[in-house]
Each structure stands twice: as C-alpha cells, then as structure tokens.
Amino acid sequence: MATEVKEGQDIRNMVRTLVQNHGDEKAELIPILHEINRELGYISDEAIKELSKRMNLPSSHIYSVATFYRMLSTEPRGRHVIQFCESAPCHVAGGRLVWQKLQRELGLAKGETSQDDKWTLLTTSCLGLCGVGPVMVIDNDIYGNVTPEQVPGILKNYE
C-alpha cells in the first residue's frame, strides 16, 4: 500500500500541494485525508500538523475525523492489509471458519500487524459483495467464495 516512507519536509510538501489542488475549504478535508492515507499508508502526526496549518483547522478536529472513518488510519500498517468481512451474509455463508483459519495461518488477531510489517489483519463491515461471500480483500484484490482450504494459497501470492 504505502509506496515509500516519507519524512519531514517531504510530508509537508505533499500536504501543501494537496491543499493547493483541493482548496482549503473544510469540505475538502476528507478527500485530502484519503489521498494522504493512500500516499503514506496512514495519516501521520506530521501530516495532521501541516494540514492544520494549511487548512486553518484545529489538529483535534482533523484527528477526530481521521479516527472516525474506517478507511483512514492514524497508525502505520503492514505492507499488505487484509480486510475480512464479518457481516451476517458472509458469516452465514461459512465466514466463521475462514476467519479462524486466517488468524491461525497468520498468527495474528483482529487489528494486529505482524512483527515483520508484512501483514495487517482487519475485519470490516459489509463490502457489498455478498453474492460471493465469504469475502476478503487484500490491498485492492477481492477474493470471493473463500474456503478455509484456499487461505494459505491466497496468502502465498503476496511478498
């Protein structure tokens, strides 16, 4: 997800460019946070501080928004983010067993990132792909009709 680790001046420049492109209206806050999250893999303190200055909004407001939405993260994540759907249609279609297998295979519990920063394991609410449940999404790849037996093979696709 994250392309490369950016620091200090790079982050400040990126935020400045984004605010120039989007404008500093408050309504642009969520679109800008989306882009920061995509670039960095998460929304760092540095980015929040710079955004606060450029958009003339309190850091507390930006932080409260960034932590409210599921697609935005204020914590660094692993190279690959797994989202497993835990809503009722996937659950009824056999999702419980897939979820147990996934946790065992990775040695991770919900919300954890692996020691080597390779994986972050998250659960998500319905992704609207219920016709092919159980569903899991790794980065931007969608896997449907997943069975516990398929889990190791799917994970092998990622470096």
Partner 1 sequence: MKTTRSMVLVSSDPESLDRGALDVFSTLQKQITKFGLEEEIALSMITDISKHAMSPLVLVYPDAVIYGPVTADDVPRIVEEHLYKGRVVEEKQISAYDLSGRVAWLSSRKGTMPAENRIVLKNVGLIDPENIEEYIINEGYEALGTVLKEMTPDETIKVIKDSGLRGRGGAGFPTGLKWQFVKGAKGNKKYVICNADESEPGTFKDRLVLEGDPHGIIEAMSIAAYAVGADEGYVYIRGEYGLAISRMQKAIQQARDYNLLGENIFGTDFSFDIHIHAGAGAYICGEETALIESIEGNRGEPRPRPPYPTTAGLWQKPTLVNNVETLANIPAIIRNGGAWYKNIGTPSSPGTKVYTVLGNVNVTGLIEVPMGITLREVISIYAKGMKDGATFKLAQTGGSSGSIIPASLQDTPMDFDSYNKAGVSLGSGALLICNEEVCVVDLAKVLLNFFRYESCGKCNPCRIGNKRAYETLVNISEGVGTLQDLKDLQMMSDQLYEMSNCGLGQTAGSPLKDILAHFRAEVEAHIKLKVCPAGVCPMSGQRIYKTI
> Strands 119-124 and 80-85: what pairing?
parallel
Place of tokens 């920061």: 36
Find the shortest distance in angstroms from Cβ 33 to partner 1.
7
DSSP assignments along 96-111, one per residue = HHHHHHHHHHHT--TT
Nearest CB to partner 1, comparing residues 131 and 152: 131
Find the shortest distance in angstroms from Cβ 21 to partner 1.
15
Q: Does 56 bind partner 1 (CB under 8 A)?
A: no
CB atoms within 10 A of CB 124: 17
Q: Does 64 bind partner 1 (CB under 8 A)?
A: yes
Find the shortest distance in angstroms from Cβ 24 to partner 1.
11
Find the shortest distance in angstroms from Cβ 80 to partner 1.
17
Question: Residue 126 carries which side chain, given as an amino acid letter?
Answer: C
For residue 120, give every residue at least 6 positions away whose Cβ sits within 8 Å of its Cβ, in sequence order, or none.
Answer: 77, 78, 80, 81, 82, 112, 113, 114
Q: Does 148 bind partner 1 (CB under 8 A)?
A: no
Q: Which residues bind partner 1 (CB under 8 A)?
A: 25-31, 33-34, 61, 64-65, 68-72, 86-89, 91-93, 96, 99, 110, 124-131, 133, 140
